[in-house]
Structure 1
Amino acid sequence: MVKIYSIDSLREAKKTQTIDTVIPFKLNGKEYLAPKKIVNGEMETYVLTKPIGEMLRSNSLAQYKDLLKKVVLDVELGREQIPLLYSPIYDLLSDPTMPKLIDAKWALTGTVVFTEHMEGEEVKFGALQVEYGPTARLLTYTAGFEYTKEMKDFNDNFSVDILNRSMGEAYNALLNHIYLSPIINYTYKTANKTPYQGSADEDVWVRYYKTLTQAIIDCNKAKRPGTVLLASSMNKDNIEMALKGGYQINGTTYPAVSGISSIVYYDGWATQVGRKSYSYPGVTDGKCYLIRPKRGFKELLKQDLQIESQAGDLSRLVEQQIVGYAYRGCYAAIDENVQEITLG
């Protein structure tokens, strides 16, 4: 059975989940923990016991801590709205001691051979096939927002909630972009391309069937068998009909396509900050990518999203600044693991 990864399918799957964990955050350089609890897919919200204006006017560390705890949990609530889609493709490497520039030793292949050992002879030692491997770089990603004097004076909890959740949504949207855009934006060699198959007088799904079947053959011939299909939801119905098979047309039987275990539907993301629009493009309608996952794809994580707070800027009537940052990297070996497919 093919597993579907899309925003809607992952949201639906979360309705059965129960999660109990803690999220770290920092206030005045000291780390604290905020409890995050999800029961049957519903995340418990954190409600402040005092108006936000009163908390911002207070010099109480306990009240600032309480306020930042709400920020952190609201951010997590936002993250729940944008599920991460790239997990079937990438292998996670998490290490807080990662340097900024990493030798991607996992991308190298070793040559080792067993030989008959003769008494007195030296053992033959294996070696890497290349002297220097590729490198991967960790980058710093940041975002922030400000609580203004008006928010404080008018106890504008509604705007605060929106800002908090928007940060969470933006972060998960960024992660999908970081790890899926290298596949979407790559310029593929001829050997990594499968053109549209079939003729105009055939049903669309039949042409998809022939194209996907040919792509699997192309990947197998190149000794990089693909099991994950990255596609646009615009082509969802015809892709799934083609993979399902079991149909007979004009005496020809189309069995289920074997080999593809997962489909990831990614349509990108867009938002507007002030007057400026930001967007992450998804998979183009009529294109898809057959991927051999994990080995050539590494999600590098030094530090996941960290929320910190500091005093604002009175000259701009800013009471408090909230900053989120993360240290992440991506390694994607495209030529060795991806086939670009034209569906139409």
Structure 2
Amino acid sequence: MSYRLDPVPVYTPSSTRYHEMQYRLVGHSGLRLPALSLGLWHNFGDDRPFANQRDIVRSAFDHGITHFDLANNYGPPPGSAEENFGRILRKDFANHRHEMIISSKAGWNMDAGPYSFGGSRKYLMSSLDASLERMGLDYVDIFYHHRPDPDTPLEETIYALRDIVASGKALYVGISSYGPELTAEAAQMAAEEGCPLLIHQPSYSILNRWVEEPGEDGESLLASAAANGLGVIAFSPLAQGLLTNRYLDGVPADSRAAAGKSLGMDMLREENLTMIRTLNSIAESRGQSLAQMAIAWVLREQGDYGSQTVASALIGASSVEQLEHNLKALENTEFSVKELNAIDAAATDAGINIWAGATRSKIHGDS
């Protein structure tokens, strides 16, 4: 007896995928990013079903999300998010690579040993080679130094990024979580080498506004990035899930906080919960969920730094339904002065910036 096996359906992207997404220029470059980008920090490791991961990536692309953000250590285990994304690329996107912006990073711990942390030439170059192998790619569109490293001369890190672009293994390079003065110094150094930094990826949300605060020289990170031609892509606009309706009535058993993943229970103190309940009321008055308003707020116009200060908001998704819900944030990204004042009155720093940008003095050991 023989059995007929039904063929696996071939993925065909939506023909309307570019109709509704907004695309914004990144800094002083010709590259455009979608207003929402998909981050694979969570939900793409080996602890999550591959079929679900595949559905999320397909849905994102169908809605015009062309940018997919990874790092060498995303998982768990480290490296598995890139491996799983590589499988999705091979299965569904072999003919669409030219339509995709794929980024990776190195800087945080990858594995044991002295060559899997920091900003050395050895780590950055070998990490990118490994990332490309895991994803089955010849190049990434953007490669970031994931964090400032006080133990490595800034010149070594920047020159490594320069040489990575020269090698063709990355089209653009950027930095993440650098403070304003260090951002300016890195940008100037890279420009002098003929390899301008494209982009800065900081944490930024209603409850985490360190990028707006003056640094050692009195200039904020947003101002420094704008002055030096870098675009900004904000990660964790939902404050690790705090700016959602998940915690309005307690801590769900399947939540990130309950699992101890980046959102600690100390962040759910009553002071913070009171803030998010007030913010939730403001969102409801706008006809949005709290998550939708929080994403829209990050993408709002900020006249001090240019009309599109943040080129893209980097969001995660544990399901297609969650992704599609958050995409609706783009239906209303305008805020009245009254709404902005109400948000400012309700929200203070929630103590959730666990990636605080390093200052120039910490890197150089200044007194």
TM-score (normalizing by structure 2): 0.22
The structure with the greater share of residues assigned to helix is: 2
The structure with the greater share of residues assigned to strand is: 1
User: Which fold has the larger relative contact order, with Cα–Cα distance below 8 Å and residues 6 or more apart in sequence?
Assistant: 1
TM-score (normalizing by structure 1): 0.23
